[in-house]
Chains A and B, each alone.
Chain A
């Protein structure tokens, strides 16, 4: 039964040379090839990890060519056709009415264009030319400051207009600032196409040529998607302006309450099963049950969460039962998410706590009990302090799992579009991985870019957690 965990000693005595038997050489050669093959599997794993990281990094920045979502000519003021002279109107008609229509028109009207009055000519132009205002539109850079402000006022909501005015009064903004503002707010300047980071760094010349060929006259440049502003800004529907702050705050809140629930309960259950539980039927049932729970797919926990916490207990999870002022309409809140996530990582923490407690030498307990300590005193003062670092390692791994877990929260939170920061237990929420999912699902380059930027934030947190746990455990092994 006693199993030696140590591997077979590394230095084997060299096999005696039996030059006469050719099969020995062959077998040893096969052995060497086999060893390389086995080692290769770890190389593959390492390569997969590196490629995965590079693939993400490849999308957080790169060349981008910019354009307007809204045609500038449709928002700027135009000269009314009525103010134009007969010659100018004729010119417009000849330039913008298709040639075959021009031939047909005199028959339909019973007169040539030149014979028409100004008013009739204007009518013809309105009938035959789509969007005639854009023909006489005045380009943005010819407008006066006051006209620029009017363009803004006419094309964005009053609330946004007042907000911008409060940030910095329009009268005190320079012409360039005003034009920039219009480009951002009204014309929705955005990246039309983006290139991966490594291409942009090593192949910039070719990309610039491609841009000049396919997007003549467009602005282009190097665009970082992962910026400090991206991390601290509000969520919007546009990749160019959106940020992560609500998602980060949501993640922190959910994880905080998850820890608050799962860590004490998990450690307590682990202590119970290792130190207090006898071999009674219920204890065996609890133990088997925990192993089974650890294998339940995470999305099933999400369904449990949505049916129990969100739906059945909606009065409590929306905070309505506690008299919260203007509670959310349903239970898709931080507390539902935290409880679901807590149940999900509970088996993980329990199993790990049990292993940590099992590793504490029996002699410590015997000594304490022999001196008259009670069971709980023994556990509290002798077993737990020794097992604590190892328990903590497990908790860190559990939290790291919770930070990256997406599926149950999609079911519980329904991937809500949340623009305000979640503020407490009873607010609707979004979390980092949910935001990544929402963006990664959209088949547009720019959403992939911000998705990758958010992944970098998530990975930094998760890998830091994991590295801490690995280092802590290796230290523990050495000290034991």
Chain B
């Protein structure tokens, strides 16, 4: 009994000397809050974007010439003339993006399958930089390429009277080349996330490598590939310089890819590269286009992230 009391009193004295309470460390707290503030800047950016787009777009929709119904149904975009139908800008955006994806999806996916299923690590070390350099080329250079190379090539194939000087096909095709690396790298991530056991099972049943790749691995990675496709479309929607240089310099409601038609981003770039008065209808009108573009790309990106999360969960 005596021994116990002695030891407990010794414990008490030790406890008096060593405090297990968290020591206040002001330096640590300051640094942590600074780091938090840095992270919070991204939230402020988003708030800023939404606020700016919505408030200026509201000014636009509040002006007497503009009605919301007309905005989504009219086929002429000429704010100064009182016609504000967004359709011609949207159709050309969609047409150039579809053309781009027709190029980018097959090429990007094939490249991803080859890199992930066929190439040796050594070969991959040589092949991947090609895609990375392609991804690093500034889009203004692609735009120059579209005007000075792709358009003349299209003219010589389809005839100079069929293909206009500015046209959606040229912009779309070059945009496709630009998007190949994005589709390839996202698809490759999805393909290499497919468990090895699936491949081994397939080989065990006597499938060739191509059969394994196309019938086992690709279907297993389909949600990741869908994510790549959607991100590709979203990139194509938001891409500016290629369409600003090659697609056309005026809104045009047409479904003919060989005709000139300005896209949403191309229009914003052209209108704002002039000396724009901040009180004009032109100025607020580009924010209504920007808001629609923002909603479109944000929705696509969210869907794509949902697809990515799905394959991460499955494997």
> Are A297 and B265 in contact, CB atoms less than 8 angstroms apart?
yes
Given A10-B120, A298-B240, do A433 and B130 touch, yes or no (CB 8 Å)? Answer: no
User: B176 — nearest CB in chain A belongs to which residue?
Assistant: A48
Bits for A17-46, please: 1 = Cβ < 8 Å to B, else 0.
000000000011011001101111110111
Contact call B298/A296, Cβ cutoff below 8 A: yes
Residues 83-101 of chain B, each 1 if its beta carbon lies under 8 Å from chain A, else 0: 0000000000000000000
- With contacts A8-B199, A268-B38, A295-B231 taken as known, whether A458 is within 8 angstroms of B111 at the C-beta atoms is no
User: Which residue of chain B lies nearest to A413 when distances are taken between CB atoms in the complex?
Assistant: B273
Interface presence of A245 (CB below 8 A):
no
A252 at the interface (CB under 8 A from B): no
Q: A38-B114, A296-B49, A407-B269 in contact; A436/B133 too (CB < 8 A)?
A: no
Residues of chain A within 8 A of B199, CB atoms compared: 8
With both chains docked as a complex, state the minimum distance between the C-beta of B272 and any C-beta of chain A, in angstroms.
4
In the complex, how many angstroms separate the beta carbon of A459 from the nearest chain B beta carbon?
A: 6
Interface of A is mostly: helix
Instruction: Tell me whether A458 and B272 are in contact (CB under 8 A).
Output: no
Residues of A within 8 A of B133 (CB): 49, 463, 466-467, 470
Instruction: In the complex, identify which listed stretch (A70-78, A285-293, A320-328, A359-367) lies at the interface while the others stay far away.
Output: A285-293
> In angstroms, how far is the closest chain A Cβ from the Cβ of B216?
11
For residue B17, CB closer than 8 A to chain A, the reply is: no
Residues of A within 8 A of B209 (CB): 12, 31, 35
B interface size (C-beta, 8 A): 104
A13's nearest neighbour on chain B, judged by CB, is: B203
CB pair A376–B32 under 8 Å, yes or no, is yes
Interface centre among A34, A271, A299 (most CB of B within 10 A): A299
Contacts of B128-150 to chain A: CB distance below 8 A = 129-134, 136-145, 147-149
A357 at the interface (CB under 8 A from B): no
What are the residues of chain B within 8 A of A405 when measuring CB–CB?
A: 138
B52 contacts chain A at the CB level, 8 A cutoff: yes
Q: Note all chain A residues with C-beta closer than 8 A to B231.
A: 295
Most buried by B among A303, A346, A397, A411: A303
Q: Does A162 contact B (CB under 8 A)?
A: no
Classify chain A: how many residues form its interface, as a range: 35 or more
Q: Are A272 and B36 in contact (CB under 8 A)?
A: yes
Tell me the bound Cα distance from A272 to B36 in angstroms.
Answer: 6
The answer to whether A295 and B234 have CB atoms under 8 Å apart is: yes
- Are the C-beta atoms of A55 and B107 separated by less than 8 Å? no
Q: Which 9 pairs, one residue from A and one from B, show the smallest C-beta to C-beta distance?
A: A297-B238, A404-B138, A41-B110, A268-B38, A272-B35, A407-B240, A295-B301, A466-B136, A34-B210
- Chain A interface residues toward B at CB < 8 A: 1, 3-8, 10, 12, 15, 27-28, 30-31, 34-35, 37-42, 44-46, 48-49, 51-52, 55-56, 59, 264-266, 268-269, 271-273, 276-277, 283, 285-286, 289-293, 295-304, 306-308, 311, 343, 346-347, 350, 374-376, 397, 400, 403-407, 410-411, 414-415, 433, 436-437, 440-441, 443, 448, 451-452, 455, 458-459, 462-463, 465-467, 470, 474
- 27 A-B pairs (CB sep. < 8 Å): A4-B195, A10-B120, A27-B208, A31-B208, A38-B113, A41-B111, A45-B130, A46-B130, A55-B149, A271-B35, A293-B45, A296-B49, A297-B265, A297-B297, A300-B49, A300-B238, A303-B53, A303-B268, A304-B48, A375-B28, A403-B138, A406-B140, A443-B165, A448-B144, A459-B138, A462-B137, A474-B125
